[in-house]
Structure 1
Amino acid sequence: MTQSLIFDMDGTLFQTDKILEISLEDTFNHLRSLNKWDTVTPIDKYRQIMGVPLPKVWETLLPNHNNEEREQTDAYFLEKLVRNIRSGKGALYPNVKEVFTFLKEHNCSIYIASNGLSAYLKAIVSYYNLDKWVTETFSIQQIESLSKSDLVRSILKKYDITNAAVVGDRLSDINAAKDNGLISIGCNFDFAQEDELSQAEIVIDDLIELKAILPKLENMYLTNK
């Protein structure tokens, strides 16, 4: 049976934490220089909502700013993120490439479904040569609803996938699996929250665990039907 795994990017494959704080600090320093921010950078608040689409991020972090200011901030932040990725300040989680190699050797198709923007995802995929393993990377920008569930559904439809698991660290990933009748694999990594992970069918502490889980997925697919 051909299997498919759909991975989240931030906090699952890519250690966003390594570039998040410096990029956010740069962005809010920029706002301070424009006299549009006069307090501390809300890094903790961002950590709490990590995984939601960026438009909703800026609604939360900049509640008193207008949409134009949020869009300008979003563009500046994206520029800083991409620059930090290309300068090598980020990192993949341990064992990503080893696991991807294993999955491909076992006839498994790999996709990425992320709430990140296309330019950001492209920078990561390009810098780490992930397209060597990944069939296609999908951004939330491709879906009008900004719903991870709808994004995953579009992957299933495009590639005629019936058996798959969604691998991610946040509730949006777990719900994307459930809403599409897929298996949910929660990643207990940096941004994960215990109450969200409790809703996943499987929880892992390291991506290397997928090597042992893969043979068990076929029976789980049959159980889920």
Structure 2
Amino acid sequence: MLTSVIFDMDGTLFQTDTILELSLDDTFRHLRSLDKWSKATPIDQYRKIMGVPLPEVWETLLPDHSSIDRERTDAYFLERLVENIRSGKGALYPNVKEVFRYLKENNCSIFIASNGLTEYLKAIVHYYQLDYWVTETFSIQQIESLNKSDLVHSIIKKYGITDGAVVGDRLSDINAAKDNDLVAIGCNFDFAREDELSYADIVVDDLIELLSIIPELA
């Protein structure tokens, strides 16, 4: 059985869409109140790029805005996300805690590596008490390159991981596994894309499948 499993957060453990549209609407309503946006909230456009670091998100959604406007929008969006999480408006995917409990009982270390910002991740981990099982949560903010592969490498180096898997729904997660000689487990969930999942070693439709998959991996 593997000794370590590194999970993505958005679209893998946390059903981001439960607060995504709400928080994005809050943010673009705020921009409209400042006369810095006049159209509908670009939720569909955001869904297409879900999982990339937030600086890239605002470069895509607000291409004609200044860097200062993007930074302020980013900060406001984070505030709304955190508040909506703390208000209980989000949700984990089914069987997250069951899988975590199983892995912990079988001496498998659990980590989270996410493109999400630190405060956002802290809000999720605290609200759902995931730190009972998770050894440490890592944000892309901790890596200068903003590269998921580098983030996973930093976890491997810090904890001396010699075998493990990365579980995630996007190509950045799969690449992070491959680049670090770990097993790539793709999650065919809300934001997953078939062309990206084709690069994974294993694809699951429900996290509960990990209970039978992980013991067979070495």
Q: TM-score range by the shorter chain?
A: over 0.9
Alignment-mate amino acid for residue 69 of structure 2: E
Report Cα offsets for 1:2-26 as digits up to 9, x if no partner.
6100000000000000000000001
Paired with 2:214 and 2:64, the residues of 1 have a C-alpha distance of: 47
Given that 2:104 and 2:133 are in contact with CA atoms closer than 8 Å, whether structure 1 keeps it comes out as yes
CA RMSD of aligned residues (A): 0.7
Give the TM-score of the pair, scaled to structure 1.
0.96
Alignment-mate amino acid for residue 116 of structure 1: G
Q: How many residues align?
A: 218
- Equivalent runs, 1:1-225 vs 2, <5 Å: 3-218=3-218
Deviation at 1:215, TM superposition (A): 1.5
Given that 2:2 and 2:214 are in contact with CA atoms closer than 8 Å, whether structure 1 keeps it comes out as no
Paired with 1:2 and 1:46, the residues of 2 have a C-alpha distance of: 34
Given that 2:149 and 2:176 are in contact with CA atoms closer than 8 Å, whether structure 1 keeps it comes out as yes
Given that 1:7 and 1:110 are in contact with CA atoms closer than 8 Å, whether structure 2 keeps it comes out as yes
Report Cα offsets for 1:104-159 as digits up to 9, x if no partner.
11110000000000000000000000000000000000000000000000000000
Given that 1:174 and 1:200 are in contact with CA atoms closer than 8 Å, whether structure 2 keeps it comes out as yes
Given that 2:113 and 2:138 are in contact with CA atoms closer than 8 Å, whether structure 1 keeps it comes out as yes
Q: Secondary structure at the match of 1:91?
A: coil
Paired with 2:62 and 2:145, the residues of 1 have a C-alpha distance of: 21
Report Cα offsets for 1:148-198 as digits up to 9, x if no partner.
000000000000001010000000000000111110000000000000001
Report Cα offsets for 1:60-96 as digits up to 9, x if no partner.
0000001100000000000000000000000000000
Paired with 2:59 and 2:171, the residues of 1 have a C-alpha distance of: 19
Deviation at 1:201, TM superposition (A): 0.4
Alpha carbons of structure 1 residues 38 and 116: separation in structure 2 relative to 1, 3 Å: same
Given that 1:2 and 1:107 are in contact with CA atoms closer than 8 Å, whether structure 2 keeps it comes out as no
Given that 2:2 and 2:217 are in contact with CA atoms closer than 8 Å, whether structure 1 keeps it comes out as no
Paired with 2:146 and 2:60, the residues of 1 have a C-alpha distance of: 16
Q: Secondary structure at the match of 2:15?
A: coil
Paired with 1:148 and 1:175, the residues of 2 have a C-alpha distance of: 8
Given that 2:59 and 2:70 are in contact with CA atoms closer than 8 Å, whether structure 1 keeps it comes out as yes
Paired with 1:2 and 1:8, the residues of 2 have a C-alpha distance of: 17
Give the TM-score of the pair, scaled to structure 2.
0.99
Q: Which runs of 5+ in 1 are unaligned?
A: 219-225
Identity among equivalent positions (%) equals: 78
Given that 1:165 and 1:185 are in contact with CA atoms closer than 8 Å, whether structure 2 keeps it comes out as yes
Q: Which runs of 5+ in 2 are unaligned?
A: none
Alignment-mate amino acid for residue 65 of structure 1: H
